[in-house]
Structure 1
């Protein structure tokens, strides 16, 4: 009885080993990509004519866009909101951490070289607006979702924004990555 059980067990091992060896490499389970880290990315403002905010008008909100490109050799994911702190040009401006929109974020997969952007809604004001009521952007400190290291981007568009850094629902805010 013992030798029959051993033979059946041995046959099962041989069959299992043969089946495993017969699987093509493409059938191997691939690990899901992990999140993108700041070091995996590069960032900048979208500068195309259709992407520039209309900072000269003061009748309505306008949008600026910041992009992230996966510069690493691996696939990674981004999901959520970037942290965006505007640093002002006026001594009275200080730093303004932008609020988030109510839009729901999606999980995005970035292959090597893929780019995704997100919008920043801005509420421009006239140059004649009193200094205490306007924020003049100089630099943007942009932190990818779930990261602590940031990119420092110089604001290329000029203009000024209605200062609402303490407002509950400011006219200047950030949308999620990919929106």
Structure 2
């Protein structure tokens, strides 16, 4: 039986000079690169630890909320890019607000089984006394993992209200890439 060696395997034998036996390329098991994570591979939620809660009571600066994805599949997978985030408002005038993306450059994140990664949402809180037309009161977030079409529905756990800028070119409320 003839053995076919790849150029790399043959070069290894030649360089080693005194190799006892050459391993055919067909015997080597190549590990495939992980593919992207699908919505069904993940679970999601808001980070609610003390250091992760947005400061919704202050109104002088932006604050951040964090949403996490955990790989619950048995395989390693990757996430790269921005999650789609649609906020559904609690007021009749709120409707749905699809958040714009920041200018930050995404990176590929590799998630093994059980690994978690998060992303942040910059928020611009306003006072309760702000006129209803100028504020958005979050109730639910529809969160779609990067490059997916199915979403998670997350209840907004933090209260407060955000300056309504759903038609603005550069709003103070926007989403950042996964892992940054």
Fold in common (TM above 0.5)? yes
Number of residue pairs matched by the alignment? 165
Distance 2:109 2:146 in 1: 12
Distance 1:138 1:31 in 2: 41
1:114 aligns to what? 115
Gaps of 5+ in 1: 1-9
Change (3 A) 1:15 1:166: closer
2:177 aligns to what? 176
TM-score, normalization: structure 1?
0.88
Q: CA deviation at 1:14?
A: 4.8
Change (3 A) 1:15 1:127: closer
RMSD: 1.7
Q: CA deviation at 1:92?
A: 0.4
Gaps of 5+ in 2: 6-20
1:60 aligns to what? 61
From the CA coordinates, give the structure whose radius of gyration is larger. 1
Give per-residue Cα distances to partners, 1:58-81, cap 9 Å, x unaligned.
000000000000000000000000
Q: Structure 1 stretches (4+) deviating beyond 6 angstroms?
A: none
Give per-residue Cα distances to partners, 1:137-176, cap 9 Å, x unaligned.
0000000000000000000000000000000000000000
| 1:35-74 matches, cutoff 5 A | 35-74=36-75
Distance 1:38 1:111 in 2: 15
Change (3 A) 1:15 1:82: closer
Any idea what SS the aligned residue of 1:124 has? coil
Change (3 A) 1:28 1:14: closer
